[in-house]
Amino acid sequence: MEAKIQFIKGLDETVLPDVRLTRSRNGSTGTATFCFKNPIILDKSTAKEGEITGMYLIDEEGTLETRDVNARFINGKPEVIEAIYIMKSPDAWDRFMRFMQRYGQVYGLVFTKAN
């Protein structure tokens, strides 16, 4: 199974996100902030598919999900979807990183470590 991101189950998001990762000093928790600029989920043609119920990160191991999904409006129109995924243990961090590695391979993304 190919790694994918969905906001409505069954509808793959094709816009690639900007993802920012933070991790606690002791490595026990972490946060991933996803920022999608003009995602297809905001397109009028996808309105019939249903409402956004969360962000689902799907791969061969299963599904990671978050309900922390918000739209940012610019000039009265939704243009950015921001979602936050929280990892509450080292195992959750490792699982998330495996998903991101698979997602990156599918879409040609690379990890850049901050200085």
The answer to whether 93 and 87 are in contact (CB under 8 A) is yes
Rg of the chain (C-alpha set): 14
Question: Tokens standing for 81?
Answer: 């979807």
74 within a domain of the structure (yes/no):
yes
CA atoms of 67 and 59, how far apart (whole Å): 18
> Once rounded to an integer, what is the mean pLDDT over residues 60-88?
94
- List the domain range (segments joined by +) for residue 72: 4-103
Per DSSP, the three-state class of 51 is coil
> Once rounded to an integer, what is the mean pLDDT over residues 19-24?
93
CATH code of the domain in which 42 resides: 2.40.30.220
Q: Looking at residue 109, what DSSP letter applies?
A: -
> Once rounded to an integer, what is the mean pLDDT over residues 32-45?
91
Domain count, the chain: 1
79 within a domain of the structure (yes/no):
yes
Q: For the segment 50-68, what is each residue's pLDDT rounded down to a tens digit?
A: 888 899 999 999 999 999 9
In this structure, the strands spanning 55-59 and 4-8 are: antiparallel
Residue 114 reports pLDDT greater than 70: no
108 within a domain of the structure (yes/no):
no
110 within a domain of the structure (yes/no):
no
